Structure 1
Amino acid sequence: MLNPQESVLIIVDVQGKLAKMMRNAQALEDNISTLIEAATLFNIPILWLEQLPDKLGATSDKLREQLVAAHQPIAKAHFSAWHAPEFRAALTATARNNVLLAGIETHICVYQTCRDLLSNQYQVHVIADAVSSRTAENRSLGIEMMLQHGALLNNTESLLFELQQEAKGERFKALLKLIK
């Protein structure tokens, strides 16, 4: 079972026009938004990445508004976040080994980040309804490739209840509001 004290949420490159071109873009943004709110409820650190933000633009407005008060984006040029020293330092500083992975594109940046995380002894949980690509085929292949290399698959709602583990308390009530 996932434990909030051992988890970190990583959001990969949900930026500009590209984010709007993703298959099921609105559902993707809504699920990532829910993950951000849940991470806050569980005190789970969030690492937020942007691929070449000067060229691809900033993170989508809705997500940026949620993140900017407590987090700063980490810019990267490589497809994998692992190659950004600032990312590795921030991840190491969390002292957490369970990565909750969301973002775009599933078959490129999310996949390559996942591969590097797995190679460096992180347990990666791909949040299937919080990753996307421009085509359904590329999304599916990206997920399949990550699973073949040892990633675990989850979805937003299952993840929230796995982290919560019991149907009581104020946090549970707040989680119910997030999914309704």
Structure 2
Amino acid sequence: MADASSNHVPVLFSFSVFSRPSSVPLGSGYEVLVQKFLSIYGSQIDVHRKFLIQVLSEEWGQYVDLPKGFAIAEKCKLRLVPLQSDIPTLGNLSPATTIFFCCDMQERFRPAIKYFGDIISVGQRLLQGARILGIPVIVSEQYPKGLGSTVQEMDLTGAKMVFPKTKFSMVLPEVEAVLAETPGARSIVLFGVETHVCIQQTALDLIGKGFEVHIVADATSSRSMMDRMFALERLARTGIIITTSESVLLQLVADKEHPKFKEIQNIIKASAPESGLLSKV
């Protein structure tokens, strides 16, 4: 029964011999259930496996390891079942289910990061597109006291969150709180520096939490092109989508008749810089 005060539904999540009570918002669908399940058991299972929902069967057996004082009023009607076969990641994007992550595009990195001017230019296009389409943007700054703020060329107006960090991954508790406040979020578009450090660790943390990750290759770089190349190859093998800024923006509008198409078209009218990044993807 739903709790009228919190508008949440109690749920019992079970895996192997462990069962844990939790809750999800009333009306939650499959993706919310999977993400909640992975948040509880993600360290114990292969988080890259896909799941389907199975309707109640008498063959499920009995619950074990129930939390103290937790009673079962009726058998669960649904369960999540991991699929053995891999399902290709389709990578569909829509504004309603997408969040942009801009990682550490800071002033002190300017002389060290290869083709930094190019990725700033492309990153700014992505920020413009996010504002036009109403997509939340989360921006990190690595130790800004020593490395400076985000470069002035990138307009952070309207960003949902700009936060300092010392951890390489952007997936910190405050970011997880923002993601939790956006239950429909499914896809993360990630760009910035460095590809083999903060981008890679952020991407792996995100897929570990059930998100689909798109890394924008023409807005992502490192000090070393070898580090960048092998990081992108490794991430692609995990099912992360390596894409480009124009592909992302046009996929988000999807139709020439989209009310914001003209504005997005103006952003990409001039092609993104064909820098030395091209031959190092």
| TM-score where L is the length of structure 2 | 0.60
Residues 80 and 5 of structure 1: CA distance in aligned 2, closer, same or farther (over 3 Å): same
Give the Cα separation in 2 of the matches to 1:9 and 1:125. Answer: 9
Q: Which residue is 1:88 aligned to?
A: 176
- Corresponding residue to 1:16 among 80, 99, 107: 107
How far 1:169 moved relative to its partner?
4.5
Give the Cα separation in 2 of the matches to 1:20 and 1:29. Answer: 13
> Structure 1 residue 151 and structure 2 residue 229: aligned?
no
- Corresponding residue to 1:132 among 221, 237, 240: 221
Q: Which residue is 1:100 aligned to?
A: 189
- Corresponding residue to 1:164 among 235, 241, 253: 253
Deviation by residue 1:138-165 (Cα, 9 ceiling, x = unmatched): 1111211211222112100011111111
Give the Cα separation in 2 of the matches to 1:22 and 1:50. Answer: 15
How far 1:69 moved relative to its partner?
4.9
Q: Is the 8 A contact 2:139 2:159 kept in 1?
A: no
Give the Cα separation in 2 of the matches to 1:38 and 1:136. Answer: 27
Amino acid in the other structure paired with 1:98: S
* Matched position secondary structure for 2:264: helix
Amino acid in the other structure paired with 1:145: R
Amino acid in the other structure paired with 1:42: L
Q: Which residue is 1:3 aligned to?
A: 94
Q: Unaligned regions of 5+ residues in structure 2, if any?
A: 1-91, 270-281
How far 1:115 moved relative to its partner?
0.6
Q: Is the 8 A contact 1:45 1:94 kept in 2?
A: no
Q: Is the 8 A contact 2:216 2:244 kept in 1?
A: yes
* Matched position secondary structure for 2:99: strand
How far 1:12 moved relative to its partner?
0.6
| Count of residues paired in the alignment | 177
Q: Which residue is 2:46 aligned to?
A: none
> Structure 1 residue 76 and structure 2 residue 165: aligned?
yes
Of 149-158 and 167-176, deviating more is: 167-176
Q: Which residue is 1:142 aligned to?
A: 231
How far 1:171 moved relative to its partner?
1.1
Deviation by residue 1:56-108 (Cα, 9 ceiling, x = unmatched): 11111111xx11454441111111112x2212112222331200001100000
Q: Is the 8 A contact 1:6 1:97 kept in 2?
A: yes
Q: Is the 8 A contact 2:137 2:161 kept in 1?
A: no
Q: Which has the higher contact order (CA 8 A, sep 6+)?
A: 1
RMSD over equivalenced CA pairs, Å: 1.4
Give the Cα separation in 1 of the matches to 2:103 and 2:256. Answer: 31
Deviation by residue 1:13-48 (Cα, 9 ceiling, x = unmatched): 111221442211111001100000101111110000
Q: Which residue is 2:263 aligned to?
A: 174
Radius of gyration: which is bigger? 2
Q: Which residue is 2:203 aligned to?
A: 114
Where is the helix percentage greater, Structure 1 or Structure 2?
Answer: 1
Q: Unaligned regions of 5+ residues in structure 1, if any?
A: none
Amino acid in the other structure paired with 1:12: C
| TM-score where L is the length of structure 1 | 0.92
Q: How does 1:47-62 map to 2 (within 5 A)?
A: 47-62=138-153
Q: Is the 8 A contact 2:168 2:201 kept in 1?
A: yes
How far 1:173 moved relative to its partner?
0.8
